[in-house]
Amino acid sequence: MLHSELIQIIHEHFGLTALKLTKINGYENQNFTINTKNKKYILKTYLYDSILKEELDAESQILEKLIGNISIQSPVPVKTNKNTYLYVHHTEKQSYLIRIVSFLEGTFLGEITCEASVSYDLGIAMSKLNLELKKHHFSSLRAKKSKWDLAHFDLNKPLLKFVENESLKSRIKYFFTKYDTEVRPTLTALTPQLIHGDANEWNLLSDGSSIKGIIDFGDMCQSYRICDIAICITYLCYDKRHPLEWMSDFLKAYHSNDPLTAKEIHILYYLVAARLCTSLCNSARSRHLDPENVYASSSQKNAERLLNLWFKYNPILIQNMALEAIGLKTLDSEIDAEKILNKRSLFFVKNLSLSYSEPINMKSAAFQYMYGLKGETYLDAYNNIPHVGHSHPLISEAIYKQQSTLNTNTRYLYHQLGDYAEKLLSKFPEKLCKVFFVNSGSAASDLAIRIAQAYNKRKKVLVMEHGYHGNTKIGIDISHYKYANKKGPGRQEHITKTDIPDTYRGEFTQENAGHKYAQKTIQLLSGVENEVSCFISEPIVGCGGQVPLAPGYLKELYPHLKAKGIVCISDEVQTGFGRLGFDFWGFEYHGVIPDMVILGKPMGNGHPLGAVVCSAELAEEFSKGVEFFSSFGGNPVSCAVGSAVLDIIEKEQLQNNAFLVGDYYKNELIKLSKDHPCIGNVRGSGLFLGIDLVHPNTNHTFYNLAQHVKNSFRKNHILISTDGPDDSVLKTKPPLCFNTENVDQVVTELNRALERFDYNKSSH
C-alpha cells in the first residue's frame, strides 16, 4: 500500500493526522510508526484472513483490559470511528486488516546493559501480566496454533532441514526427543491460560534497573504460564555471564505473586532449550530464504551460545536452583544414591569394580557431558563407547523405530542385515568382504580365534604384551593384560606373548625400533611358526597405556606371518570408526591390511554390537563347520543402530573432528609437558591419547601422581582414567563430538592438578 493511501486511511478511519509515516523493518507484515502532532503510534497491516481477524480482535480487547491492571506499560489500541479495533481495507488485488496501537517510548532491554535488579523486576511484571491474562478467555486464541508456542514445539520439526550444521541439528533433535519424554506428559497435566508468548529483550522496555513496558502481543496464545516463563528466562539469560543467578532472581520474584509448582519447575530446563531450538530452527529458515538476513544470523549466534552452555548444565542443577529460588524442597540425591549402592553390594561381587573411591551416580548424559544425581556435570574425556555422543537422538530414533517394527534373528530374511553389512564393509579394503555380527568385543575376539583356528587347523596364538581382547574363556586366554595379572589364571600353553613394541619405555626406542621389535617377534616364533594359528593385537594398545605399536612394526611383521600361514587379526574395538582422526581404522594407521578385524564398543554407540570382519577365504573355511548362530547378532535393531552410527560419523564429519580436535589436544598436551617434566610422553592419535606420567626427567612410572590427577579431575568433574602396567598413564578417548573448548578445560585442569601435587610427600 502507498504511504499516501495509508495516511488517508489513518485520517478517515482512525481520526488521526499523520505528519510522518515511517516503515519499521524486520517484520513479516508491513508496520509503521505514525507521528502526529502530540503522540506517536504504531500502524500494523496484515493480509486479510478471517481467522487472523478474530485473533487480532481478541488481542486488542485484551490490550484494552490490561490498561491500569498490570505494573508496566502496554500498547493501547486505537479504535476506528466505527468503534472497532480493525479496519478492513479492500484493494483490487488484496484485502488488508489495519490497526493502530499507541507507541511506547523507552529503551529496549536488548539495547542496554542492565543491572541485576532487572531480573527481579521482570519476574514481578510477568507474574502480574500472567495473573491478568489468566482472567480472559477467547476461543480464537484458544484455537491458535503457533510454532512459537512451546506447547507446540513440534511444529518446528519440519524446519530442522534448514539447519545446515549437522552437529547442531543433532543437538536440536536431542531436545525434541527430550520434549517428548520430559515435557509433554507434564504440560498436558497443567492448567492452560493466555500468555504473552514472546517476552524477549526486543519486546521489553527498561531503564536499566527496572522493566517499564511490554509490546508486541502478536504471539499471545492459550498456552501455559511456565512456557512464558521459560521464554522470558531464555532471553534474560542469553548474554549473561552467570545466567542462572538471573534465572533464580526472576523466579523468586515471579513466585512471590503467582506461586509456581514443582511440576512446572521440573520441565523448565527443557522448555528453555525448546525455546532456543525454536529460535535456531526459525533463524535457519530465515537465513535460507534470505542469506543476508543479519537479524537471523545474530539471533542464531546468541541462541547457539546459550544452547551450548545449556548442555553443560545438569537438568537437576537447574531444577534444584529453581526450586530453591522459590523456596520449594529440592530433590534428595543422597537417598537415591544410598539405595543404588546398597543394591549393588547386595546383588554383585566386588570384582565388578567401580571407578573412584567415591563412585559417581549418573543420572543422564548428552553428547560429551554426563549428569550426576547431585546436579553436577562431568565432561566426558574418557568414554569411547558413546562414540558419536551420549544419548544421540538419531541412535535413540533408530532403536525406537526398528524395535517397534521388527526385531528378529538372522534365520529370517530382512533387508537391514545386508544393507548394514554393505555399508560397514564399504569402509574396509576389498579383501575384507565377509562379516559376522555378534554382541560384544569379547564375542568377536572369541569368534575370530575360532575362525583362524578352523582355517589353518593350528592352535597356537601369538598375543601382544598388555593386550586385552575380552572376558570369555578364549578372551582371557589371549589377553596378557588379564591372564598375567597377579590374580589372573596365568598363561595357557598354546599362547605365546610377544613384547609390546613401545618406543617410549621399551627395549628399542630409536628410529628403527619397529624393525627391531618385528625381528624380535620373528625370532620368538622361530621353529614353531607352523604351529601358530594367528596373531592378535591392537594397533594402539589401550590397556598397555595407549601405546602405539612402533612405526613399521606391523608392516614388517604381517608379511612374514602371512607367509607362514599365520592369520593376522587387528583388534579395532578401541581404535576403529574414525577415532584416530586421519585413519578410519587402526590398521590403516600402520599401513597394513589384516586378514581379520574385530569390532565392538563404538560400533553401536552403547547398543551391544560387535563383529568380525574377514576375508572370503577365512569365512569360507569356517562355514564348513557347525552352524554359526548368534541370537542377537545382526538383529534388525542392531543393524539399524550400527547403520545410524556410520551415518552420523559421516554427516557430522566426526572423523575429521577427531583429527582436528585430536591434533589440537595432543599439541596442547605437548606444550604443557614443556612446563611439567613429569609428563614423560604424550602419545596416540586423534581422540585416542595417552599421557604418561613419570618421575620428573626420568621415564619411571609415577603411579601416585597419575592417581592424584585422576582424582582431581573427578573432583573437578572431568572423567579421565588411568591405565598401563603401573596404572600411571592418563587415558583420554572422549566421544568424537569433543571440541577445542573441552580440550582447554582438560588441559587447564591437568596443569592445575600437576601444580598442586606435593612431590615431597609421594615417592611412588
Ligand X SMILES: Cc1ncc(COP(=O)(O)O)c(C=O)c1O
Please identify, among the stretches 158-166, 194-202, 428-436, 438-446, the one whose residues bind ligand X according to the rule CB under 6 A.
438-446
User: For the purposes of burial, counting CB atoms within 10 Å of the CB of 329, is it exposed (0-12), middle (13-18) or buried (19 or more)?
Assistant: exposed
Of 598, 622, 570, the closest CA to residue 437 belongs to 598
Contact 373, 336 (CB under 8 A): yes
Facing residues of 615 across strands? 432
Nearer to ligand X, 163 or 444 (CB): 444
Does 258 engage in binding with ligand X (CB under 6 A)?
no
We find the least distance from the C-beta atom of residue 603 to ligand X, in angstroms, to be 9
Choose which of 197, 441, 684, 734 interacts with ligand X (CB under 6 A): 441
* Chain centroid to CA 109: 31
Helices (H), 326-479: 333-347, 393-403, 415-425, 441-456, 473-477
Nearer to ligand X, 414 or 483 (CB): 483
Nearer to ligand X, 101 or 599 (CB): 599
Please identify, among the stretches 15-23, 165-173, 463-471, 623-631, the one whose residues bind ligand X according to the rule CB under 6 A.
463-471
Please identify, among the stretches 48-56, 469-477, 492-500, 504-512, the one whose residues bind ligand X according to the rule CB under 6 A.
469-477
How many Cβ atoms from other residues are within 10 Å of residue 4's Cβ?
Answer: 9
Beta-carbon contacts of 269 under 8 Å, excluding residues fewer than 6 positions away, are: 310, 313, 315, 318, 319
* CB-nearest residue to ligand X: 441
Contact 317, 376 (CB under 8 A): yes
Contact 652, 167 (CB under 8 A): yes
Does 722 engage in binding with ligand X (CB under 6 A)?
no
Contact 667, 686 (CB under 8 A): no
Nearer to ligand X, 123 or 470 (CB): 470
We find the least distance from the C-beta atom of residue 544 to ligand X, in angstroms, to be 10
The count of chain residues that interact with ligand X, using the rule CB under 6 A, is: 15
What angle, rounded to 10 degrees, do the helices at 553-563 and 513-525 form?
30
Alpha-carbon distance values, 324 to 44, 245, 280, 329 (Å): 43, 12, 30, 7
Choose which of 468, 553, 587, 589 interacts with ligand X (CB under 6 A): 468
HSE of 74, CA atoms in CB hemisphere, 13 A: 26
Of 717, 661, 721, the closest CA to residue 691 belongs to 721
Does 721 engage in binding with ligand X (CB under 6 A)?
no
Q: Which three cell numbers stand for residue 730?
A: 592418563
Does 470 engage in binding with ligand X (CB under 6 A)?
yes
Contact 569, 595 (CB under 8 A): yes
Does 549 engage in binding with ligand X (CB under 6 A)?
no
Nearer to ligand X, 283 or 574 (CB): 574
Does 455 engage in binding with ligand X (CB under 6 A)?
no
We find the least distance from the C-beta atom of residue 599 to ligand X, in angstroms, to be 9
Choose which of 45, 286, 416, 440 interacts with ligand X (CB under 6 A): 440
Facing residues of 221 across strands? 195
Please identify, among the stretches 15-23, 465-473, 627-635, 714-722, the one whose residues bind ligand X according to the rule CB under 6 A.
465-473
Choose which of 125, 215, 388, 573 interacts with ligand X (CB under 6 A): 573
We find the least distance from the C-beta atom of residue 147 to ligand X, in angstroms, to be 43
Eight-state DSSP code of residue 329: P
Choose which of 445, 570, 635, 701 interacts with ligand X (CB under 6 A): 445
Nearer to ligand X, 119 or 440 (CB): 440
Please identify, among the stretches 66-74, 313-321, 435-443, 641-649, the one whose residues bind ligand X according to the rule CB under 6 A.
435-443
Nearer to ligand X, 442 or 605 (CB): 442
Choose which of 216, 380, 571, 588 interacts with ligand X (CB under 6 A): 571
We find the least distance from the C-beta atom of residue 150 to ligand X, in angstroms, to be 41
Does 539 engage in binding with ligand X (CB under 6 A)?
no
We find the least distance from the C-beta atom of residue 661 to ligand X, in angstroms, to be 22
Does 574 engage in binding with ligand X (CB under 6 A)?
yes
Please identify, among the stretches 9-17, 59-67, 544-552, 569-577, the one whose residues bind ligand X according to the rule CB under 6 A.
569-577
Q: Hey, what's the torsion of the CAs at 614, 618, 619, 620, to 10 degrees? A: 150
Of 398, 444, 414, the closest CA to residue 630 belongs to 444
Does 701 engage in binding with ligand X (CB under 6 A)?
no
Choose which of 59, 216, 538, 692 interacts with ligand X (CB under 6 A): 538
We find the least distance from the C-beta atom of residue 652 to ligand X, in angstroms, to be 24
We find the least distance from the C-beta atom of residue 623 to ligand X, in angstroms, to be 24
Please identify, among the stretches 83-91, 354-362, 440-448, 554-562, the one whose residues bind ligand X according to the rule CB under 6 A.
440-448
- Is the four-CA dihedral 300, 301, 307, 311 of positive or negative sign? positive
We find the least distance from the C-beta atom of residue 607 to ligand X, in angstroms, to be 11
Contact 22, 33 (CB under 8 A): yes
We find the least distance from the C-beta atom of residue 567 to ligand X, in angstroms, to be 17
Contact 684, 540 (CB under 8 A): yes
We find the least distance from the C-beta atom of residue 377 to ligand X, in angstroms, to be 25
Helix (H) or strand (E) holding 142: helix 139-143
Nearer to ligand X, 394 or 540 (CB): 540
HSE of 714, CA atoms in CB hemisphere, 13 A: 16
Does 606 engage in binding with ligand X (CB under 6 A)?
no
Nearer to ligand X, 390 or 579 (CB): 579
User: For the purposes of burial, counting CB atoms within 10 Å of the CB of 269, is it exposed (0-12), middle (13-18) or buried (19 or more)?
Assistant: buried
Contact 593, 613 (CB under 8 A): no
Choose which of 212, 252, 287, 469 interacts with ligand X (CB under 6 A): 469
Does 442 engage in binding with ligand X (CB under 6 A)?
yes
We find the least distance from the C-beta atom of residue 491 to ligand X, in angstroms, to be 18
Beta-carbon contacts of 652 under 8 Å, excluding residues fewer than 6 positions away, are: 166, 167, 170, 388, 737
Does 600 engage in binding with ligand X (CB under 6 A)?
yes
Of 320, 684, 753, the closest CA to residue 502 belongs to 684
We find the least distance from the C-beta atom of residue 543 to ligand X, in angstroms, to be 7
Choose which of 501, 542, 633, 724 interacts with ligand X (CB under 6 A): 542
Please identify, among the stretches 412-420, 462-470, 715-723, 741-749, the one whose residues bind ligand X according to the rule CB under 6 A.
462-470
> For the residues of 167-205, what is the DSSP string, one character each?
HHHHHHHHHHHHIIIIIHHHHTTSPPEEE-----TTSEE
Q: Which three cell numbers stand for residue 7?
A: 495516511
Please identify, among the stretches 88-96, 365-373, 464-472, 579-587, the one whose residues bind ligand X according to the rule CB under 6 A.
464-472
Footprint of ligand X (CB under 6 A):
440-442, 445, 468-471, 538, 542, 571, 573-574, 600-601
